[in-house]
Amino acid sequence: MLKPPLLKELSQIVGQANVFTDAEELVVYSYDATRVSSLPSAVVRPSSAQEVSDILRLANREQIPVVPRGAGTGMSGGSVPLQGGLVLSFERMNRILEIDEANRMAVVEPGVITGDLQRAVEARGLFYPPDPASQQFCTLGGNIAECAGGLRAVKYGVTRDYVLGLEVVLPTGEIIRTGSRTLKNVAGYDLTRLIVGSEGTLGVVTKIVLRLLSLPESVRTLAAFFPDVGSAAHAITAILSGKVVPRALELIDEGSLAAAGNYLKQDIAGGARAMVLAEVDGASQTTEREIAVVEQACREAGANSVTRAEEQADRDRLWKIRRSISPALYTIKPRKRSEDIVVPPARIPDILAQIQVIAKRHGLTIVNFGHAGDGNIHVNILLEDEEQSAAKLAEQEILAAVLGMQGSISGEHGIGFSKADYLPMETGAAALEAMKKIKRALDPNNILNPGKIFINAE
């Protein structure tokens, strides 16, 4: 509990209506998509960088933890207030401030829903490519904190590739601006890239300058169904070694197909054991030719059937299936441990084969789906409570196999608290210490999102 004088100070900063302390309100801000929950002492809803700065000065003075929060859709616990303290919620800072068509840029506040920005720019013939599966709910501030990836990363890259500049409030209260409204900028250290993906541990983002592209003229989508996941994985590597760069290239295994089918109450696979979803974009003549190349690669790799989505409604149906997998998996067993591994894309068949061996050895149900085109697979261990220790062992073995292939333990969900135990395995001691030095320099009292990325920042 915060002492009444501190609550009064907070109310003076954001107004009494924007400070919540009632138990039922605190619960709403206590968890994210990991379904781990920890109550904050209070929730504050700032409306400006100045208010954020005043809150951080107060928190730093009183050494109170502060946890920035967008929509709470994160998969690694980034917005869970593990050590209590204040949740800083951005639902009031949700304006698209500017869409600059001439320079292909947008300026937004962190609470804007990603899908809302996409629609707003598309209405003007522009395009914001980063496309997390939760794009209808997640916020751009959260995307920046975790450096979200998503379905179109295989061709267009991830959030960091579109962030030109930021306004950031440091844990000690200073408001700084990073980057510029230009495509080029080598003036000093790249603080923009340091903040993107720092999981709300180094600063609080209050304004974002994003790069936009022009909207591709045409999009073609197909679904290919395979008798086993191995042939689907080989189709992906065959496509990647050809000349076509699809904008999305997703792999969905049998377990994920079944879960999505139950959840949406439809027969998706018609007996097939794996699906590849591919999408190309560009000029009309090009996409027509490219989708044919992708289809042929799928057939040569052993696809039993291939369906092209001709109408927008067909395309929407396919992507709805894909985006529903993550929530659908919760309906199979009470818990899921969601891995976010990424390997060099050509190693996808190898890592899937190794995961199968590990699942068998531990008697676990493991399903795999995701952004195989960029090497990023969501390995989900579905478990009952009594399977926790077997799952932990399997997780260690999977991550070791990934690192053995020069991959990474997290492609897009971040470390949060859920992968903090494993970060040293990937970075090594010296790089981990370099990261901690940065954290200590910017946040000497460790008030900003403590317990994330590092088990202990000291």
Report the nearest approach of ligand 2HG to the CB of residue 6 (Å). 37
Interface residue with ligand 2HG, options 34, 53, 198, 380 (CB under 6 A): 380
d(CA 209, CA 213): 13
378 vs 439, beta carbon nearer ligand 2HG? 378
- Report CA 270 to chain centroid distance, whole Å: 30
20 vs 417, beta carbon nearer ligand 2HG? 417
Q: Is 324 in the site for ligand 2HG (CB under 6 A)?
A: no
- Neighbour-count burial for 315-328, b at 16+ CB within 10 Å, e otherwise: beebbebbbbbbeb
Q: What is the CA radius of gyration of the chain?
A: 22
Measured CA distances, 343 to 38, 173, 230 (Å):
33, 39, 16
Report the nearest approach of ligand 2HG to the CB of residue 159 (Å). 13
Q: Is 326 in the site for ligand 2HG (CB under 6 A)?
A: yes
Q: Give every CB contact of residue 273 below 8 A, 6+ residues apart in sequence.
A: 226, 227, 228, 229, 253, 254, 257
Report the nearest approach of ligand 2HG to the CB of residue 309 (Å). 19
By CB under 6 A, the residues from 404 to 443 that bind ligand 2HG are none
Q: Is 378 in the site for ligand 2HG (CB under 6 A)?
A: yes
By CB under 6 A, the residues from 121 to 140 that bind ligand 2HG are 133
Report the nearest approach of ligand 2HG to the CB of residue 7 (Å). 36
51 vs 250, beta carbon nearer ligand 2HG? 250
Continuous H helices in 241-283: 254-264
Report the nearest approach of ligand 2HG to the CB of residue 233 (Å). 17
Tell me, by CB under 6 A, how many residues bind ligand 2HG.
8
Pair of tokens at residue 344:
């060099």
Report the nearest approach of ligand 2HG to the CB of residue 338 (Å). 4
152 vs 378, beta carbon nearer ligand 2HG? 378
117 vs 252, beta carbon nearer ligand 2HG? 252
- The long-range contacts involving 357-364, CB below 8 angstroms and separated by at least 24 positions, are 358/394, 358/397, 358/398, 358/401, 359/394, 361/394, 362/390, 362/391, 362/393, 362/394, 363/390, 364/390, 364/391, 364/394
d(CA 53, CA 58): 9
Q: Is 370 in the site for ligand 2HG (CB under 6 A)?
A: yes
Report the nearest approach of ligand 2HG to the CB of residue 337 (Å). 9
Q: Is 79 in the site for ligand 2HG (CB under 6 A)?
A: no
Q: Is 332 in the site for ligand 2HG (CB under 6 A)?
A: no
- The long-range contacts involving 3-8, CB below 8 angstroms and separated by at least 24 positions, are 6/58, 6/62, 6/64, 7/42
CB count within 10 Å of CB 42 equals 23
Residue 429: φ, ψ to 5°: -65, -40
Report the nearest approach of ligand 2HG to the CB of residue 127 (Å). 20
Continuous H helices in 204-283: 229-240, 254-264
Q: Is 153 in the site for ligand 2HG (CB under 6 A)?
A: no
14 vs 138, beta carbon nearer ligand 2HG? 138
Report the nearest approach of ligand 2HG to the CB of residue 71 (Å). 14
Pair of tokens at residue 336:
């899921």
Q: Which amino acid belongs to residue 436?
A: K
204 vs 379, beta carbon nearer ligand 2HG? 379
d(CA 76, CA 420): 9
Report the nearest approach of ligand 2HG to the CB of residue 128 (Å). 17
70 within 8 A of 52, measured Cβ to Cβ: no
370 vs 451, beta carbon nearer ligand 2HG? 370
207 vs 337, beta carbon nearer ligand 2HG? 337
Q: Is 94 in the site for ligand 2HG (CB under 6 A)?
A: no
d(CA 335, CA 312): 35
Interface residue with ligand 2HG, options 75, 105, 278, 341 (CB under 6 A): 75
Pair of tokens at residue 208:
């974002």
Q: Is 338 in the site for ligand 2HG (CB under 6 A)?
A: yes
Report the nearest approach of ligand 2HG to the CB of residue 396 (Å). 18
Q: Which residues bind ligand 2HG (CB under 6 A)?
A: 75, 133, 325-326, 338, 370, 378, 380
